[in-house]
């Protein structure tokens, strides 16, 4: 399995593959890979001849008080997981390989980024869209794979690709969960054992919200309150947001009569975790 660090090396290898008629899939990640990433890589390798996994902790999508410096990294483990799951190449650039000193071009998706995590993390999606655009331009994949756990990120990237005619098919992949329902995340590693137990409250609260919807509740405020009350029953949980939005425009809804995304962000101790479900009417 090849590990390369510069955009030039990626381009050279991908050009050779394309010359041989191979299709290329891309799985963009920030590393510290877990089974959730593994499922993306496996899907990508089923659907493409060659799979590139990017491992890059993208500095421009972190706010000044966020966890850029402490974000977990383990390239050795990542390499093993990528090769077990059928990946062909890791692209692991340094920040200076991706951003030259006078870098000043960014990709901004409006509207969809004003609520949910966008409201809490100013500049985050500008950083995500910029790095994803760069990765698309460097790798030039036919398909790119994103997890549904980051539901807003997925919606924003789909919109960017549509609006800017980017020739990449975005493939959404289901959330992978631990046995007790906690969504897999590289940030779960920050949790102490007490916090880890408390973190199941995210999935529990969403299940209660979903149960209300399936039994016919259509008032978004009522469903949100069911979720909030469940979260508030856990002393270690502090709600960042609980929102119900239209699944494509991500605009808040009051009466549920279309496909919706229910998304939450919750602090367990100092660790901010997100989770969601979609409900299609
Ligand atoms: O979801 C992530 O891990 C990151 O936001 C992404 C898409 C790799 C961009 O840095």
Among candidate residues 117, 138, 173, the one where a domain is terminated: 173
Residue 281 lies in a domain: no
CA distance 169 to 161: 8
Pair (17, 49) in one structural domain: yes
Q: Please tell me the residue having the least CA distance from ligand 1 atom 3.
A: 29
Range of the domain at 213: 186-275
Per-residue model confidence as pLDDT tens digits over 78-133: 999 999 999 999 999 999 999 999 999 999 999 999 999 999 999 999 999 999 99
Residue 185 marked in a binding site: yes
Distance between CA atoms of residues 64 and 193, nearest Å: 28
CB atoms within 10 A of CB 208: 15
Average pLDDT over residues 171-191: 98
Task: Name which residue sits closest to atom 5 of ligand 1, judged by CA.
Answer: 128
Return the HEC string of 179-209.
Answer: CCCCECCHHHHHCCHHHHHHCCHHHHHHHHH
Average pLDDT, the chain: 98
Ligand 1 atom nearest to CA at 147: 1
Q: What is the 3-state secondary structure (H, E, C) of 15-55?
A: HHHHHCCCCEEEEEECCCCCHHHHHHHHHHHHHCCEEEEEE
Q: What is the pLDDT of residues 186-219, one digit of tens each?
A: 999 999 999 999 999 999 999 999 999 999 999 9
pLDDT score, position 237? 98
The verdict on residue 179 lying in a domain is no
* Residue 258 domain flag: yes
122, 18: one domain: yes
Compute the distance from residue 143 Cα to the ligand 1 centre, in Å: 15
Q: What CATH number does residue 44 fall under?
A: 3.40.50.620
State yes or no: pLDDT of 183 exceeds 90. yes
Tell me, what's the pLDDT at 5?
98
Q: 36 among the known binding-site residues?
A: yes
Q: How far is CA 261 from each of CA 49, 55, 110, 168, 201, rounded to the nearest angstrom?
A: 33, 28, 18, 24, 18
Q: What is the rounded average pLDDT of the residues 27-42?
A: 98
Residues 162 and 198 in one domain: no
Q: Are residues 164 and 216 in the same domain?
A: no
Instruction: Say if 280 falls within a structural domain.
Output: no
State whether 166 and 191 are in the same domain.
Answer: no
Q: Note whether 153 and 218 are same-domain residues.
A: no
Total domains present in the chain: 2
User: Does one domain contain both 93 and 6?
Assistant: yes
The reported pLDDT for the residue numbered 214 is 97
Residue 223 lies in a domain: yes
CB-based contacts of 53, cutoff 8 Å, min separation 6: 26, 27, 29, 33, 37, 41, 78, 82, 87, 89, 90, 91
- Note whether 159 and 198 are same-domain residues: no
Q: Could you tell me if 94 and 211 lie in one domain?
A: no
Is position 124 annotated as part of the catalytic site? Answer: no
Q: What is the pLDDT of residues 225-248, one digit of tens each?
A: 999 999 999 999 999 999 999 998
CA-nearest residue, atom 8 of ligand 1? 29
Q: What is the mean pLDDT of residues 40-60?
A: 98
pLDDT at 33 over 90: yes
Choose one of 151, 173, 195: the last residue of a domain. 173
Do 56 and 139 have their domain in common?
yes
Residue of 30, 185, 274 to mutate, ligand 1, most atoms within 8 A of C-beta: 30
Structural domain contains residue 148: yes
Query: 37: which residues sit within 8 A by CB, 6+ positions away?
Result: 27, 29, 53, 81, 147
Whether residues 25 and 116 fall in one domain: yes
Expressed in angstroms and rounded, the spacing between residue 186 Cα and the centre of ligand 1 is 11
Instruction: Say if 178 falls within a structural domain.
Output: no
* Interval 246-270: pLDDT, tens: 998 999 999 999 999 999 999 999 9
Dist CA 97 CA 28 (whole Å): 16
Last residue of a domain, one of 117, 142, 173: 173
Instruction: Look up the CATH number of the domain holding residue 265.
Output: 3.30.1300.10
Q: What is the tens place of the pLDDT at every residue in 124-162?
A: 999 999 999 999 999 999 999 999 999 999 999 999 999
Residue 219 lies in a domain: yes
Percent of the chain at pLDDT above 70?
A: 100
Domain co-membership, 110 together with 216: no
**What is the model's pLDDT at position 250?**
98
Residue 281 pLDDT > 90: no
């Amino acid at each position: 399995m090849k590990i390369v660090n510069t955009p030039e090396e990626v381009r050279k290898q991908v050009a050779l593959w394309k010359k041989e008629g191979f299709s290329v899939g891309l799985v963009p990640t920030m590393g510290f890979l877990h089974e959730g990433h593994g499922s993306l890589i496996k899907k990508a390798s089923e659907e493409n001849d060659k799979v590139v996994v990017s491992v890059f902790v993208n500095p421009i999508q972190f706010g000044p008080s966020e966890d850029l410096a402490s974000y977990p990294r383990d390239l050795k483990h990542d390499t093993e997981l990528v090769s077990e799951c059928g990946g062909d190449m890791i692209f692991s650039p340094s920040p200076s390989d991706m951003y030259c000193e006078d870098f000043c071009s960014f990709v901004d998706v409006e509207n969809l980024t004003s609520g949910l995590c966008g409201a809490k993390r100013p500049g985050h999606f500008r950083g995500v869209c910029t790095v994803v655009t760069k990765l698309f331009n460097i790798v030039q994949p036919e398909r790119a794979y994103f997890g549904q756990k980051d539901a807003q990120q997925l919606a924003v990237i789909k919109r960017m690709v549509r609006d800017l005619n980017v020739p990449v098919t975005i493939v959404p992949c289901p959330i992978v969960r631990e046995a007790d329902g906690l969504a897999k995340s590289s940030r779960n590693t920050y949790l102490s054992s007490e916090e880890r137990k408390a973190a199941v409250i995210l999935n529990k609260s969403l299940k209660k919200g979903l149960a209300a919807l399936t039994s016919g509740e259509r008032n978004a405020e009522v469903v949100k309150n069911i979720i909030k009350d469940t979260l508030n029953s856990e002393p270690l949980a502090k709600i960042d947001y609980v929102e119900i939005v239209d699944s494509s425009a991500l605009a808040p809804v009051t009466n549920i009569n279309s496909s919706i995304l229910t998304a939450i962000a919750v602090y367990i101790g100092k660790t901010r975790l997100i989770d969601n479900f979609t409900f299609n009417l």
